[in-house]
């Protein structure tokens, strides 16, 4: 019994953690580079989920394959939003603080628009789709859906690719430079505006992919599904420290274990309470996040 539970917690928490890390990594990248706290993150995630749904129902596309469509599409949406709304604000804001505040409220307005547009276009009903189910697997007496394991592995793979991208490509290195020293980056000839636009769009793309995976995981989608993930992503960014990639992964897993243990051992309804309480505690001890430099 104890063995079952501990295996269950060990693997279940890790699977949740991998997903959380993916949900938050886009927001962390966006905020780290552009200083725009995109509180519409969950709404973009929801759009990604709907795109996956339509790819499946209209064209019979495998949800995992639909990332090829969802990715570029979300990237373009991100680019559009940045060019149309945020770029001008970046130029007209007089200080970093002002930009943070104004962009926060703007993204809040944006989340209204996206969510309610989704309600008008696609109705507020839950839509379910059984993409595929590979059944259950038994690991040392604890049962897991194979779907979930695949999703966790894909989340980890996306995170690894992102890490390699940030580490070894020119654009990725420029992004990291922009996180660490925005002024210095400009001095050595990095076009900050273009890097900000790319990072923002990349964040939206990652949100869309997270939406794809989440829609497969729970096999239902609705226009309100994104909001809890916005909160998770926000908390993870705070927990991890802004612009810290490793912190994001570690924080994601810590969060995953925390919620999973609360769910299994204490009470499912208490998950959010425990999560917030821990977040507040961490902020009290380390006001700039656990992994802040």
**Looking at 2-10, 116-124, 138-146, 253-261, which segment touches another protein (CB under 8 A)?**
116-124
Residue 271 φ then ψ, to 5°: -50, -55
| Structure token digits, residue 139 | 């690991």
**Looking at 110-118, 125-133, 148-156, 171-179, which segment touches another protein (CB under 8 A)?**
110-118
Q: How far is CA 101 from each of CA 41, 74, 94, 180, 201, rounded to the nearest angstrom?
A: 16, 25, 12, 21, 20
Is the alpha carbon torsion for 16, 292, 237, 283 positive or negative? positive
Alpha helix ranges (H) inside the chain? 2-34, 41-59, 67-81, 87-92, 96-122, 146-168, 170-180, 182-187, 192-218, 226-240, 245-261, 271-285
| Structure token digits, residue 183 | 């002024």
**Least distance to another protein from the beta carbon of 293, Å?**
15
**Least distance to another protein from the beta carbon of 37, Å?**
6
Is residue 187 exposed (0-12), middle (13-18) or buried (19+ Cβ within 10 Å)?
exposed
**Least distance to another protein from the beta carbon of 160, Å?**
28
- Count of chain residues binding another protein (CB under 8 A): 43
Our CB check for another protein shows the closer of 3 and 277 to be 277
By CB under 8 A, residue 279 contacts another protein:
yes
Chain Cα centroid distance, residue 2: 33
**Least distance to another protein from the beta carbon of 267, Å?**
7
* Near another protein by CB under 8 A: residue from 33, 106, 225, 240: 106
* Near another protein by CB under 8 A: residue from 23, 217, 234, 254: 234
Query: Which residues bind to another protein, rule: CB under 8 A?
Result: 31, 37, 85, 88-89, 92-93, 97-98, 100-102, 104-106, 108-113, 115-117, 120, 231, 234-235, 238, 267, 269-270, 272-273, 276-277, 279-280, 283-284, 287-289
């Amino acid at each position: 019994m104890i063995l079952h539970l501990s295996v269950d917690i060990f693997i279940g928490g890790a699977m949740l953690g991998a997903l959380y890390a993916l949900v938050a990594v886009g927001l962390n990248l966006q905020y780290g580079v552009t200083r725009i706290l995109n509180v519409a993150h969950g709404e973009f995630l929801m759009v990604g989920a709907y795109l996956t749904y339509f790819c499946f129902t209209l064209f019979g596309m495998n949800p995992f394959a639909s990332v090829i469509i969802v990715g570029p599409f979300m990237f373009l949406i991100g680019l559009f939003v940045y060019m149309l709304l945020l770029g001008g604000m970046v130029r007209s804001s007089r200080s970093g603080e002002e930009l943070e505040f104004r962009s926060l409220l703007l993204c809040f307005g944006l989340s209204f628009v996206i969510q309610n547009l989704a309600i008008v276009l696609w109705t507020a009903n839950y839509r379910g789709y059984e993409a595929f189910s590979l059944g259950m697997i038994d690991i040392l007496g604890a049962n897991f859906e194979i779907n979930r394991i695949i999703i966790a592995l894909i989340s980890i793979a996306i995170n690894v690719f992102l890490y390699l991208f940030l580490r070894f490509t020119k654009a990725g290195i420029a992004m990291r430079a922009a996180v660490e020293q925005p002024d210095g980056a400009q001095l050595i000839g990095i076009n900050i505006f273009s890097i900000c636009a790319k990072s923002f769009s990349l964040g939206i793309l990652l949100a869309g992919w997270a939406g794809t995976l989440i829609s497969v995981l729970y096999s239902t989608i609705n226009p309100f599904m994104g909001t809890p993930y916005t909160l998770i992503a926000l908390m993870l960014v705070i927990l991890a420290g802004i612009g810290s990639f490793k912190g994001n992964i570690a924080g994601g897993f810590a969060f995953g274990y925390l919620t999973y243990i609360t769910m299994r051992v204490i009470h499912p309804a208490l998950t959010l309470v425990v999560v917030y309480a821990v977040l507040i505690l961490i902020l009290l001890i380390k006001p700039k996040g656990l992994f802040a430099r």
